[in-house]
């Protein structure tokens, strides 16, 4: 980064943080801190709902996934518009009218205190780890740019974000998210524009799309039924529906957002807004990855995108092996570039000969094999698997973006992560304080006391997330890791809510046992089968609903108080 | 046993979004159609832009 980039980066961050703090000046007490005095407009909440889900991970992990894997991941998002409708019709009226602080509070009204505590605990368990991953994401960007070890960049990220979160409330979080989301739209547009502008003379968008099509990178829909396949239309529509119902309907980090609306109408509109915008946005972000795949047919990519890993290898006794692979990689890439240019010439004159397409496909495979060999050396030297999916886009940005815009894009990634982290920490804090501390330990505290405890809880969760962030780099694609961690608990929590909404006869202890059974089943599936993570959510819901309903008919319901 | 709590709806809860949407039902239908359009677009993308399936990738 140049001095201009650092200037843009610093100015942008300072502006966003100043704006957030200014917006939060009217917050009063716990309701102000956690719910913004229930006065936020729907469009701001809608953008915040999107920004919370689409943090820095979206920019880094999803673009990297598009580069290596094509468009397939978009199938996960296809049910989102339908899930938003279900949430608006079924969930929002229950939550909004009850005037809750946390989603889990509702389950005490409907069932009993232990069911509320269990679901809140499961949320804390899943979200604390997920927050660690979100904290890790921008740290790797800085790691790539500055050449620092990830531990240093994660530490800096944690200190800054936790400090800001402890001071700011939900109002600051939502207004920050609004700015971040608008910046993300700008960033997506700029990335696409500059990638297309960076293609060589005579190479058009249609040519780039064709080059990606040879490796089937545009394969967005897979109608296969293999349950072990990570992404199919069926796992996307079925598993994704449950994932989004869980995430937007039973995860405090999202429910807390639409509880800040000043009417139920605004709560609903914020979710529906998300339903319209999300799928096109994911198509665009994955499309950036696929375009990058085509772009790197003309420009030579690094054999391994993680610079820090390469430096470690070059200081080891495997340096010569790595250099030999890099040399072969360069030669093969040059040959592939010649093939690509020949194909583009042929496209200008008519149909492309089949042999040329086959040559290109074979060269793509050869380069992929060389990259695998290089990664194996990295893994051998470092003693852990190498996965550079999350380094692809940052490397592209810093190498090919113009001066000034690099700083702006990095600031967007960095600040988007900060706004998501403080959203998560605020949610973790509200669940800890409201569902546990105030519910079980101190029911008669003052507003000032609960605010102090909330800030302490935020600090504690921040430190735990920091510890998890230090391990997150070994988990593969970041976006996938977050969803996997969440899916361990989401199905069981959602099952608890559906039991509450849909089964009139359901009552406390059967619901409690059902939720525990669902969680245990998902854990067993995770540890002992290869079933894709998108299926964990429906499995969890099914077990909770089945066990909870059956036991509700077998076990005697509790006597009503005063009956 | 506890009954299913009924959401306490009041008339303002039924306010439609406004503009072309006269009721909540109309906006739900619009969003559902939008969801289907997105799926159809991606099916078209898969069928039209992937030439690899025709050549035997990696052969």
Give dist(CA A84, CA A78) in Å, integer: 11
- Cβ neighbours of B46 in A, within 8 Å: 71, 218-221
Give dist(CA A134, CA A194) in Å, integer: 27
Closest CA to A291 of A378, A199, A422: A199
A218 touches chain B (CB under 8 A): yes
pLDDT for the residue B2: 45
Mark yes or no for CB contact A357/B31 under 8 Å: no
Question: pTM for this one?
Answer: 0.83
Q: Across the interface, which of A109, A216, A279 has its CB nearest the CB of B5?
A: A109
Closest CA to A290 of B46, B56, B6: B46
A15 touches chain B (CB under 8 A): no
Query: Contact at 8 Å (CB) between A447 and A175?
Result: no
Q: Across the interface, which of B8, B34, B42 has its CB nearest the CB of A97?
A: B8
pLDDT for the residue B56: 40
* Distance, C-alpha A30 to centroid of its chain: 28
Closest CA to A490 of A113, A225, A130, A158: A130
Per-residue model confidence as pLDDT tens digits over B5-28: 454 545 445 566 666 777 888 899
- Take residue A270 and report the two structure tokens written for it: 């914020």
| Mean pLDDT calculated for residue range B27-51 | 91
Mark yes or no for CB contact B55/A364 under 8 Å: no
* Distance, C-alpha A418 to centroid of its chain: 13
Per-residue pLDDT 10s for chain A (563 aa) are 778 888 887 887 787 777 767 766 766 777 877 888 888 889 999 998 888 877 777 777 889 889 988 999 899 899 999 999 999 998 898 888 888 889 999 999 999 999 999 999 999 988 877 788 778 777 766 676 666 777 877 877 777 777 777 777 788 788 878 887 888 888 888 888 988 888 888 888 888 898 888 888 898 888 887 766 678 888 888 888 888 998 898 889 889 988 888 888 889 999 999 999 999 999 999 999 999 999 999 999 999 988 878 888 999 999 999 999 999 999 999 999 999 888 888 877 777 778 888 888 899 899 999 999 999 999 888 877 667 887 888 888 888 888 888 888 877 777 777 777 878 888 999 999 999 999 999 888 888 898 889 888 988 998 888 888 887 655 555 556 666 777 788 889 999 999 998 998 999 899 999 999 999 999 999 888 888 777 888 899 999 999 999 999 998 887 754 44
B5 touches chain A (CB under 8 A): yes
Give me the phi and psi of B18, to 5 degrees please. Answer: 100, -175
Q: Is the ipTM of this complex over 0.85?
A: no
Is it the case that residue B59 has pLDDT exceeding 50?
A: no
Give dist(CA A176, CA A228) in Å, integer: 39
Mark yes or no for CB contact A558/B1 under 8 Å: yes
Rg of chain A on CA atoms, in Å: 25
Name the residue in chain A with its Cα closest to that of B27.
Answer: A272
Give dist(CA B56, CA A354) in Å, integer: 10
Closest CA to A258 of A440, A36, A434: A36
pLDDT for the residue B58: 32
CB atoms within 10 A of CB A47: 24
Mark yes or no for CB contact B13/A93 under 8 Å: yes
Query: Contact at 8 Å (CB) between A236 and A229?
Result: no
3-state SS of A409-446 is HHHHHHHHHHHHHHHHHHHHHHHHHHHHHHHHHCCCCC
CB atoms within 10 A of CB A163: 12
- Take residue A381 and report the two structure tokens written for it: 């030297």
Mark yes or no for CB contact B2/A110 under 8 Å: yes
């Amino acid at each position: 980064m140049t001095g201009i980039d650092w200037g843009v980066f610093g100015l942008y961050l300072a502006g966003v943080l100043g704006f957030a703090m200014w917006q939060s000046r009217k917050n009063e007490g716990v309701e102000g801190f956690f719910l913004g005095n229930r006065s936020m407009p729907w469009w701001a909440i809608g953008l915040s709902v999107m920004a919370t889900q689409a943090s820095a991970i979206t920019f880094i992990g999803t673009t990297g996934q598009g580069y290596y894997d094509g468009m397939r991941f978009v199938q996960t998002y296809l049910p989102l518009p339908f899930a938003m409708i279900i949430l608006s019709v079924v969930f929002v009226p229950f939550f909004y009218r009850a005037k809750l602080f946390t989603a889990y509070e509702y389950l005490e009204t409907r069932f009993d205190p232990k069911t509320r505590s269990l679901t809140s605990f499961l949320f804390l368990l899943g979200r604390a780890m997920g927050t660690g991953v979100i904290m890790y994401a921008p740290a790797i960007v800085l790691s790539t740019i500055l050449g620092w070890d990830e531990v240093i960049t994660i530490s800096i990220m944690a200190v800054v974000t936790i400090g800001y979160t402890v001071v700011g409330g939900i109002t600051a979080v939502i207004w920050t998210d609004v700015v971040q989301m608008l910046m993300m739209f700008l960033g997506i547009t700029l990335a696409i524009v500059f990638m297309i502008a960076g293609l060589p003379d005579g190479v058009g968008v249609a040519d780039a799309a064709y080059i990606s099509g040879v490796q089937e990178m545009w394969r967005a829909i897979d109608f296969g039924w293999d349950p072990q396949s990570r992404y199919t239309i069926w796992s996307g529509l079925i598993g994704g529906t449950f994932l989004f119902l869980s995430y937007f309907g039973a995860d405090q980090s999202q429910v807390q957002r639409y509880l800040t609306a000043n009417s139920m109408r605004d709560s609903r509109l914020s979710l529906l807004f998300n339903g319209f915008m999300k799928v096109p946005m994911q198509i665009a972000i994955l499309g950036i990855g696929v375009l990058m795949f085509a772009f790197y047919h003309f420009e030579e990519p690094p054999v391994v995108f993680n610079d820090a890993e390469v430096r470690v290898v070059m200081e080891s006794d495997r340096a010569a092996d790595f250099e030999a692979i890099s040399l072969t990689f360069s030669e093969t890439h040059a040959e592939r570039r010649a093939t690509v240019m020949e194909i583009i010439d042929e496209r200008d004159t008519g149909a492309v000969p089949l042999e040329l397409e086959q040559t290109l496909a074979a060269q793509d495979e050869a380069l992929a094999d060389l990259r695998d060999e290089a990664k194996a050396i990295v893994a051998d030297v470092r003693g852990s698997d190498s996965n550079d999916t999350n380094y692809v886009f940052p490397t592209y940005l810093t190498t090919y973006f113009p001066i000034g815009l690099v700083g702006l894009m990095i600031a967007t990634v960095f600040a988007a992560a900060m706004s998501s982290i403080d959203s998560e920490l605020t949610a973790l804090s509200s669940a800890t304080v409201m569902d546990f501390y105030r519910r079980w330990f101190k029911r008669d505290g003052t507003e000032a006391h609960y605010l102090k405890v909330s800030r302490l809880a935020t600090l504690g969760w921040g430190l735990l997330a920091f510890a998890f962030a230090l391990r997150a780099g070994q988990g593969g694609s970041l976006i996938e890791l977050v969803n996997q961690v969440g899916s361990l608990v989401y199905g069981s929590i959602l099952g608890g809510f559906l039991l509450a909404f849909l089964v009139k006869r359901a009552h406390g202890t059967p619901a409690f046992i059902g939720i525990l059974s669902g969680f245990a089943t998902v854990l067993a599936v995770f540890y002992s089968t290869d079933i894709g993570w998108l299926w964990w959510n429906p499995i969890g819901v099914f077990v909770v609903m089945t066990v909870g309903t059956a036991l509700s008919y077998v076990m005697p319901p509790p006597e009503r108080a005063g009956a | 046993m506890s009954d299913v709590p009924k959401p306490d709806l009041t008339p303002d809860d039924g306010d439609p979004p406004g503009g072309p949407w006269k009721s909540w039902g109309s906006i739900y239908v619009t969003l559902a159609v939008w969801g289907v359009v997105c799926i159809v677009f991606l099916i078209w993308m898969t069928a039209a832009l992937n030439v690899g399936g025709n050549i035997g990738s990696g052969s």
